[in-house]
Amino acid sequence: MRIEAHRSETEGWRVDRLKKTLSTFCQIYGVSSQQAELLIDRINDYRGLLTVTWHECPPTEEQKRAWSIAWKLSGEDPLAVKHDDLGPL
């Protein structure tokens, strides 16, 4: 899974925050980090907007809710979470 953040070269804490947010998502949704890797291609933070890109399928409402809660617990707006999917391969 790729973890990307705007200005991560000069503000390394952004990537650390994304890793913590991913861990929080896993705890809320009840999956391991390895299981999350099977679902998610990448996460990206661009100026407070979290984009979660899923491998094949659109996320369920439960998955979306878990990301919103995890993002809120990271100090960000829980509505600032966008979901994309790569579609069928």
Domain ranges of the chain: 2-85
Q: List Cβ neighbours of 38 (8 Å cut-off, separation of 6 or more).
A: 55
- Per-residue pLDDT tens digits of the chain, which is 89 residues long: 999 998 888 888 999 999 999 999 999 999 999 999 999 999 999 999 999 999 988 999 999 999 999 999 999 999 999 999 987 65
Determine the Cα–Cα distance for residues 73 and 42; give it in Å rounded to an integer: 20
pTM as predicted? 0.93
Secondary element (H or E) of residue 4? strand 2-5
